Amino acid sequence: MNKKVLSLIALALVAYGIFVILVVNFYDDSPMNMKWEDREAYNRQYVTKVKLDQLNIDQIITDLGSPDITEAKKINNDHYQLMYYRTQHIKSDGITTEDECTALLFKNNQLNAIGQSAIDEYKLIK
């Protein structure tokens, strides 16, 4: 009886190991594939951890996917891009608006401001 129980336990552990390997190698967990509620929570958690001047646009897009809303302008030799990522649900209308998002401002591809200060700074750029 003990050999049978041990065999079943060993078989279960092997099956579990194979399942874990398959999930790790084949499950695509990018934000673009998440349900909107999960993506919103993921974006909110991510944005709270970012540090200014340590991330660039490419890293943000890799980690969060394409922004929900974006604006850009070039002044002299400086490039400014304001990217909005949805972080809070306000109205169930199927449309993502700026008030449902957190803004990230990039100057020359480096993160320069977050949230309302990003929006205010972007509006002042002329």
Q: What is the tens place of the pLDDT at every residue in 76-124?
A: 999 999 999 999 988 888 788 899 999 999 999 999 999 999 999 999 9
Residue 45 lies in a domain: yes
Planar angle of CA 36, 38, 41, nearest 5 degrees: 105
| Alpha-carbon separation of residue 43 from 36, 39, 48, 51, 76 (angstroms) | 10, 6, 9, 14, 32
Q: Evaluate whether residue 98 is within a structural domain.
A: yes
Decide if 64 is inside a domain. Answer: yes
Does 7 reside within a domain?
no
For 85, the domain range is: 34-124
Helices (H), 1-126: 2-26, 36-49, 57-64, 116-124
Q: What is the pLDDT of residues 26-78, one digit of tens each?
A: 665 666 667 878 888 999 999 999 888 888 999 999 999 999 999 999 999 99
Give the per-residue pLDDT at 28. 56
Helix count and strand count (H, E) for the chain: 4, 4
At residue 38, the pLDDT reads 86
Residue 62 is assigned to a structural domain of this protein? yes
Check residue 32 and give its pLDDT: 65
In sequence order, the 6+-apart residues with CB closer than 8 A to the CB of 34 are: 42
The answer to whether residue 77 sits within a structural domain is yes
Q: Domain containing 64 — which CATH number?
A: 3.30.1450.10
Q: What is the DSSP letter of 62?
A: H
Torsion sign, CA atoms 84, 109, 48, 117: negative
How many structural domains is the chain composed of? 1
- Decide if pLDDT at 10 tops 70: yes
Tell me the backbone φ, ψ of residue 24, rounded to 5 degrees.
-65, -40
| In-domain check, residue 97 | yes
Q: What's residue 45's pLDDT?
A: 93
User: For position 101, what pLDDT does the model report?
Assistant: 94
- Structural domain contains residue 73: yes
Question: How many Cβ atoms sit within 10 Å of the Cβ of residue 111?
Answer: 21
**Which pLDDT belongs to residue 120?**
96
